[in-house]
Chains A and B, each alone.
Chain A
Amino acid sequence: MSLAGLFLISFLVVHLGINLLILFDKSLELFNQAAHFMATNPLIQLFQYVLFFGFILHIILGVVLQLQNWAARPVRYQKKGYSEQSYFSKFMIHTGAIVFIFLIIHFANFFVKAKFGHIDSITYDSGTYENLGLLVVELFRDGAYVIFYVIAILLLGFHLDHGFQSAFQSLGLNHSRYTPFIKGLGTVFSILVTLGFIAIPLVIYFSF
C-alpha cells in the first residue's frame, strides 16, 4: 500500500512536469515534443505496465483494507467519535474513490484518444508531432470540465497530504527528528502538486 502509493507519487511529479510545459509554450511545441517522447520511448512504454500495476495494486489493497476495517466494527457507536485525529486520514477511501472515477474519465479523455483515436498532426521546425496539446486546450475550454477537474485534483491533494507521511510510518520510518519534517514536506508537496495541476486548466480557460 505504502510502496505503491509512494511510487504513484513519483509518477505524479513526472506527469505534472510534462503538463506544465503547456503553460510555458503557447505554441504547444514543448508539450507535444515531450508527449511524443513519452509515447515512443521503449523504456517508458515498458514502464507504463509497471505504472498500471502500481495503480491496480494500490486500488485493490486500499479497497480490501477498507472492507476489513469496516468489518472490524460490525456494531457502530451511537454517539459519533470525538477523538482527535488527523483530519484527511478519515476520508482516504472517499477521496480515493472520487479520484478513481476521475482517473477513468481522464483515461477516456486523454489516454484512449491518444493511443487509439486519431490526433491531427502539427509541424514545427523541429519536426512533426501529434498535436496532443490541442486536445488538452480544447477540453479545458469547457467550464464544467474545468470545475470537475479542479475538484478532483483538490481531493487528490487531500489524499496526498495524509498519504505521503502515512507511507513513511507504515514502512516503519518514524523518528523524533525527521517525522515532523516528513509531515511538513508532505503538506508542502501536496499543496504544490495541487496548485500545479489546478493552474493548467485555469490558465487555459481564462487566457488561451
Chain B
Amino acid sequence: MDLTLKIWRQASAGEKGKLVDYQVQNISSEASFLEMLDVLNERLVREGEDPVAFDHDCREGICGACSLYINGRPHGPDKGITTCQLHMRRFKDGETIVIEPWRAKPFPVIKDLMVDRSAFDEIIQAGGYVSINTGGVPDANAIPIPKRDADTAMDAAACIGCGACVAACKNASAMLFVSAKVSQFAVLPQGKIEARERVQNMVAKMDELGFGNCTNTYACEAECPKEISVSHIARMNREYLSAKLVSQIE
C-alpha cells in the first residue's frame, strides 16, 4: 500500500506545530497502524531526520499508552479497539491519513503526537483508590458480592485511561473516564466506605484541571476502545448529587 500521511509535527510544548506531509510506500495491508509509523520512522532516522514521536507500549490493546486522532476519530475508524490494534487493511491504497494528537487543555502536547496525560493520574490521586490501612489480606469470599455488581464493576474497570473519551468529546470532557473510575468502586462494598468523598474529590479535581462539561453527546461511548457505557456517567451524577445532598459540614 502507498499512503499519504499528514502528521502533526511539533518540536516541543512551547513551539508552534503544523501538519507535515509524508509519503510511505509498500506498506503491508497486514501491518498494524503503529508498525506503519515504525516504517516511516526508520526511514526518517536513516535520512537523518527527527522521527515522529508517538506513545505506545504493550501493542496489544491493554496498556492505554497509544493514542492518535486518525482521520477525525480517536484510535481510528474501527469500534472498540486501540490504535495499536488497528490494521492497515482498514485503509485504501493511495489514501490520505491525517494523524493528530489528542486535543484538550489538560493534555498539552509534549512532542509531535505525544500528549501529557498526567491530568488523569491527578484525578486518580484525588480519590480513585480504596484505603486499606492495616492488617492481613482478608479472605476473598468473606465479603459476598452479587454477580451483577461484580460484572458492573469489571465493566467499569475495563477503562485503560487512554483519553479517547476526552479526545472525542466536543467539549473535551473527561466524564466517561472519571465515571468509570468512580463506578468501579461505587458498586462494591469495599468502595462504598469512601464513596461520598471519592466522587466529590474526583469531580472537583476534574473541573480544576480544566476539562469540559458533559452535554450528553455520547461521542465518548462511541469511541471508547473498551466500550465503556455512558450509564456510568449517570451513576457518577447520581453519586455526586446524593453525596452533595447528604454530606455534612464538619
Contact = CB atoms under 8 A, between A and B. Distances in A.
B214 interface: yes
B117 interface: no
B235 A85 contact: no
B237 A71 contact: no
Contacts of B94: none
A43 interface: no
Given A77-B69, A78-B19, A169-B233, A69 B215 contact: yes
Contacts of A89: 215-218
Interface residues on A, range: 20 to 34
Nearest to A173: B234
B168 A86 contact: no
A90 interface: yes
Contacts of A170: 214, 216, 237
A83 interface: yes
A79 B72 contact: yes
Interface in B54-109: 69, 71-74, 98, 100, 103-106, 109
A83 to B, nearest CB: 4
B74 A76 contact: no
A177 to B, nearest CB: 12
A72 B219 contact: no
B211 interface: yes
Interface in A126-184: 162, 165-166, 169-176, 179
Main secondary structure of the interface of A (DSSP, over half): loop
Interface string A62-90: 00010011011111111111111110011
B133 to A, nearest CB: 31
A81 B234 contact: no
A114 interface: no
Given A72-B171, A84-B222, A85-B222, A169 B216 contact: yes
A92 interface: yes
Given A83-B219, A85-B222, A172-B241, A72 B235 contact: no
A174 to B, nearest CB: 3
Nearest to B100: A77
Interface in A46-65: 65
B217 A86 contact: yes
A25 B60 CA distance: 70
Interface string A166-205: 1001111111100100000000000000000000000000
